[in-house]
A and B are shown apart, each in its own frame.
Chain A
């Protein structure tokens, strides 16, 4: 599908710059041009497509659905699934949390949504397809949805309502399964497109610098680090690799788009995929700034429990992947 991009990269490096095949610099440059072009195209397509889906299915509809339908246990899975199509801005996490609580949606279900939404988002999917291919992307998306579902159920059984901040408890006490009548924007696709388009451009503009720097670093490593280099340090049977990778990943949120291209090279050079996926889930899904924002609605204790459960689930899935893949 992307042969033509490879042809352009080959032409540019070998013909236009007349660098020799097999040279470190040539290989690094070729990789950089090919990867950047391919990933930007994929990011554009995925962000645009998800933008259209989201335009027809905004967060208010998600809330109304979860709060009004009787789903007999499936609500954790559904909340997790909705998390995929809803873009997540960590600055919206507090109003979103309160909105869900107010609508009578159980805390565990709300957590399912809060976990999957940042974990499986349009930028992560676009980067994943470009860097790791469709198969790994599907594994990542499915495990992200399951991770949100399972963590939500675990958090439900921990009965955490008592650790909410006092004013949220008040909201919880008066919560009702209401149907907010919100203005259903009856717009045609033609009217929606300019808005979706400008959002796509804004998101791309925000991440392009990180992606380019990430791929540049990846390109250098690709050209200079020998194949299988990391296998001697991070073998599959090293039990500490997955937890260390996950915990290292938590503070790295803001640079997810720059970190993923580097991780891809690490995988190519011998880091086990499960360890890498655990690392990426930590980068994309857990962030300290988000944790600090949640302080308005949750006590430190609750935030700690929330993050611990998710971290634990990520570590377990890392081991699982190393075992299966």
Chain B
């Protein structure tokens, strides 16, 4: 199944760190997924997220306000 991954964040260092972790995990494990960075605050607020970055997979908020480890992201994507 093709997963839709969204990273919500206004572009701070933590958000960039999360994006690169997720990107690495996708390419290293050849996971079929689309990755989208949501930087518009209006869009972000639709998810009711109060601490960024947030990791959203298939419209479900899984991580808020911190940068996950690669292992964590692998587990969430499997």
A323 within 8 A of B: no
- What residue of chain A has the Cβ atom nearest to residue B15's Cβ? A91
Say yes or no: A195 contacts B66, CB within 8 Å: yes
Please name all residues of chain A whose beta carbon is closer than 8 Å to the beta carbon of B48 when the two chains form the complex. 99, 102, 180, 182
Say yes or no: A89 contacts B51, CB within 8 Å: yes
A300 within 8 A of B: no
0 or 1 for each of B46-63: is its CB under 8 Å from A? (1 = yes): 001111100000000100
Say yes or no: A59 contacts B42, CB within 8 Å: no
Task: Name the one of B50, B61, B67 contacting A95, with C-beta atoms under 8 angstroms.
Answer: B50
Please name all residues of chain A whose beta carbon is closer than 8 Å to the beta carbon of B14 when the two chains form the complex. 89, 91
- Chain A: interface secondary structure? helix
B41 within 8 A of A: yes
Q: Looking at the assembled complex, report how far the CB atom of B45 sits from the nearest CB atom of chain A, in whole angstroms.
A: 5
- What residue of chain A has the Cβ atom nearest to residue B53's Cβ? A91
A38 and B5 CA atoms in complex are apart in Å by 43
Query: Count of B residues near A, CB < 8 Å?
Result: 22
A224 within 8 A of B: no
0 or 1 for each of A235-246: is its CB under 8 Å from B? (1 = yes): 000000000000
0 or 1 for each of A47-73: is its CB under 8 Å from B? (1 = yes): 000000000001110010000000000
0 or 1 for each of A186-203: is its CB under 8 Å from B? (1 = yes): 000000000100110010
B44 within 8 A of A: yes
Please name all residues of chain B whose beta carbon is closer than 8 Å to the beta carbon of A94 when the two chains form the complex. 10, 41
- What residue of chain A has the Cβ atom nearest to residue B65's Cβ? A92
A-B contact pairs, 9 of them (CB 8 A): A58-B64, A59-B50, A63-B50, A89-B14, A89-B52, A91-B14, A95-B51, A99-B45, A202-B67
Residues of chain B touching chain A, judged by Cβ–Cβ distance below 8 Å, are: 9-15, 41-42, 44-45, 48-52, 61, 64-67, 69
